[in-house]
Each structure stands twice: as C-alpha cells, then as structure tokens.
Structure 1
C-alpha cells in the first residue's frame, strides 16, 4: 500500500476461481459455492456469491428454494426466464438487473427458453442487513449507452436516494444490504476515476469474461486474439477478462480513496464495481 493511497488491491485471477463444466452449464465461482471450497474465499463484506454462468439453449435451473439472501442477476448476453412462487414471470435480456429479496422464503427457477442461443449472466448473492423480510422482486434495465465510459449505479441500498421500491422503475435496484454495485462499458484507451464513499470499508472489481468462454485448463493456450478486454487499476494491476480484485480500505489512513480504471486492451471492457460496509 503506497503512502498516498488508502487502498490495497488483491487480485482474484480467473483461472484460480472455482470452476465447473456440467455440459449444459459452465460456471466460475469467485466465492465458495456447491462443491468448490477454499477457506480464503468465503465472503467479502456482505457478498457471498459471484457466479459467472453460461447456460446452454433449452436448459436451466429447475424450481428451488432460497431464504434470507439477496439474490440478483446481471444479464450479459442471451435471455433468461425467471419464475417464482410470488407469481412473477420475466424474460430477462442484456442490460437487465433482476433482484430477488428472498426474505422468509421463496421458490424460483431460471431457464434459458431460447432454443438457439446460450445465456451468459452473473448471479450474485449477499446477506441482508435484517432477517425476516417479506419476499420481494425487482427488475431494472440499463442500456449500453448509459454505461458507456461511465460508472452507472445499478444496485443500491433500499431506501437510499433515487432507489425506488417499485417492482419496475428507473434508477438502481434496491438491495437490503450495505452494498452498492456499479456497471461500466469502458472504451479502449479510455479512463474512468471513482472515489469510494467515506463509509466504504471494502470494494471489489470484476472484469466480465465478455469475449468468450475459456476454461482454466485452456486459458494459457486459448488467449483471445487481441488479448481481450484488459482493465488497469491505479495500482498497476491489470485485470484480464474474468479477473477480479478485492480492495481493502485502510480506515485510519488519510490517503486517497480514488480508483482509476484504464482500458489498456483493444476491446470494450465491461466490468462491475462493488462498494460495501462491514
């Protein structure tokens, strides 16, 4: 950690993530999930799951139950059908962010009804800041144009400014956790700067594997033709597609809380930024 910065960056390389190929489902796990376990990756603040999933055409996750989690999907490509025990049915497409506050319990399914196209999405889980909530469902949409060379707040704490509790509305999706998520599509050679909030104690950056799927076993020999999307952080750390970085905030430091994102590749870089409080 430099004297001028309050931030420490810890890389989470794509090839070291948990990984599974179930034929119909190809998935990466940033944190412990299913049969993947590493004591170093149990959680980060309220975050418990970041799964980057690709589900084949005509397949999906059957009806299953959850409780006491905040679960949301960020659709990268394709279409994903959501059905739940509240009576909601939704076909989610690129740009959609769908939030389920499972509360006291909800059953849902996620299925790719498209017969030709795979769906690529991130599923994210966080612990709520209170238990016993009534199950609720929200859907939001953010265009590529909105995210172009900007950080757009797509998830924010419920009740915060501009965060509506309506099922479908503009603005960020409400989450019952001390967590904010931003999304960006950064053009080649472009730079963004973002200062973490004074109350933020942890952050995380994830560079989405947008240019195509690579398994850990073939990543070294199956590089994207032009290197793929690469985001350089102000620490000098370069995140290739699928890579992430945990960010620790030194709460006693007077140093800068600013993160600089620079696209040093030849493709658009689509990435997510999470800000959290312990």
Structure 2
C-alpha cells in the first residue's frame, strides 16, 4: 500500500458568509488538477450552513449524492416529493439518475448545520432517480466501524426508502464512520468486491469539529483527536480535517486506525474498487 497525506489546510474552500466550506476535490471555483476525483469519489465537501440559510432548488443528474449530518439540522425537499429534516446521525442518499432537483436548508433559528456532502459516480447511467434515508446513532459508531453505505447488491443492503439496513448506492463505494475514543484502535479488513476485483482504493478523513479553520489544523494531542493510520509498511497521523489517500490495497489487507490524542475523533472511511 502507498499513502498520500493531505493536510486540512491544503483543501480548497471558501467562506461565503452563509456557507463555510472545505473541498477535498475540485469544486465550484476551486480547481486542483491533482485532486479531481479518487476512484468513484468525486466530491467530499465539509459544509457549515448558517441558520435560516441554505442551498436553493437546483438540478442534478448522473451522481449518487449523500449527506452525513454531524450537527444541527438540514431540511431537504426534492422533485420526487421527498420532504425530510435530518439531524445528527442521519444519512440521506439521493440517486440522481436521469435527473432530479432539490433544496437543502438550515431552518433552525440560531444553530449552524455541519455536514459532509459526498458525491460518487454511478456504475450505470440512465437510472431512475431514488431517495433513501438511514440513521446511525453515536452508539452504533462508538469505538467500532459502522458500515453506513454499500453498493446495491451487497449483503445487508436494503432498498426500502427507510430501513435499519445499509444505505444503498449505485456505485462501488463503501462508507464507514466511527467515534474513536483516546487510546482505542480499530482494524478494517478490505472487503471482497461484487465484481471480483482485488485492487482497492481507500480514503480516510477526520471530521474537523474545531470549526472553520483555514490555517494549519490544530494537532495538539491535549485538545484534538490524533488518528494514526497504519497499512502494510506505511503509516501517517491525521489531525482534524486531515485525510490520507491509500492506493495499492488488495482484498484481505488490513488498515488500522488508532487515536493517539486526548479527545474522541469522528473518522470517516471510504473503500472502493480500483478503476
């Protein structure tokens, strides 16, 4: 395996007043030819939306789009008739397919919404638009890897609009989340692919709970989570907002994360097939 560390402050981003955002990949006015996508992942935006503001109705097609709510509330409306207010622990998946329109608003009077907005490329074009919601509690993630999103057809995936099962995605992407306590560690074994491929890509990012800091991310072990990532002969340490891209993994390989800091860390992990 080979690791490529990406510091939080090296992400793209902007402060629009109503929206404070970081971009892992090229998005909107931010462009970096080295970070256009990673496997099927095309967008990971860490967004903070001010109270009584949001994204007005806008169209999407041919993307799998999901939101991971970290704090606050996010109200969703779309052209399929779905109306939803999501809170911490909620996952909302929109399969854009042939085309949808939606809006996302923070209707709260005084509390900011903090969430991850994630886009993946679909494995098939021209799909019928669909919408799913799931909920994963902090207990589901406490010192264990909650398997949150998985490809349609993978064991445990259910295609009901609301369910306790895994969230379906029409893309070869698995999404995991954990709340990792200080001194605790977890080991993940890379999964078998539905199409029999052995080559794997992996990406890990630590949620930046410390706020919209555009300079060097705080890495004081007394104040933040410090997540050590180990795989094969490689290792790196992530502060809040930092990420690591991992290539060269194979089904059955192991990746370990350990919290070296004094604060619990919310960590998200993406596994997908090589292109």
Same fold? TM cut 0.5: yes
Aligned partner of 2:269 in structure 1 is 273
Q: How does 1:1-278 map to 2 (within 5 A)?
A: 7-198=1-192, 199-216=198-215, 219=216, 226-234=222-230, 235-249=234-248, 257-277=253-273, 278=275
Name the structure with the higher strand share: 2
1:15 match: secondary structure: helix
Q: Is this contact kept in 2: 1:211–1:229, CA < 8 A?
A: no
Detail structure 1 runs of 4+ shifted over 6 Å in the superposition.
222-225
1:146 match: secondary structure: helix
Q: Is this contact kept in 2: 1:200–1:275, CA < 8 A?
A: no
After TM superposition, the score normalised by the length of structure 2 is 0.93
The count of residues paired between Structure 1 and Structure 2 equals: 266
Q: Is this contact kept in 2: 1:211–1:224, CA < 8 A?
A: no
2:139 match: secondary structure: helix
Q: Distance in 2 between matches of 1:176 and 1:27?
A: 26
Deviation, structure 1 residue 224: 6.4
2:204 match: secondary structure: strand
Q: Distance in 1 between matches of 2:226 and 2:257?
A: 10
Q: In structure 1, list runs of 5 or more residues that go unmatched.
A: 1-6
Q: CA RMSD in A?
A: 1.6
Q: Distance in 2 between matches of 1:205 and 1:250?
A: 14
Q: Is this contact kept in 2: 1:79–1:119, CA < 8 A?
A: yes
Deviation, structure 1 residue 212: 2.6
Q: Is this contact kept in 2: 1:75–1:122, CA < 8 A?
A: yes
Against the structure 1 CA distance between its residues 250 and 159, is the aligned structure 2 distance closer, same or farther, given a 3 Å change threshold? closer
Q: Distance in 2 between matches of 1:55 and 1:228?
A: 23
Aligned partner of 1:3 in structure 2 is none
Deviation, structure 1 residue 50: 0.2
Q: Distance in 2 between matches of 1:63 and 1:17?
A: 26
Deviation, structure 1 residue 214: 1.2
1:236 match: secondary structure: strand
After TM superposition, the score normalised by the length of structure 1 is 0.92
Deviation, structure 1 residue 197: 2.0
Q: Distance in 2 between matches of 1:52 and 1:94?
A: 14
Q: In structure 2, list runs of 5 or more residues that go unmatched.
A: 193-197
Deviation, structure 1 residue 144: 0.3
Q: Distance in 2 between matches of 1:213 and 1:223?
A: 15
Q: Distance in 2 between matches of 1:228 and 1:108?
A: 35
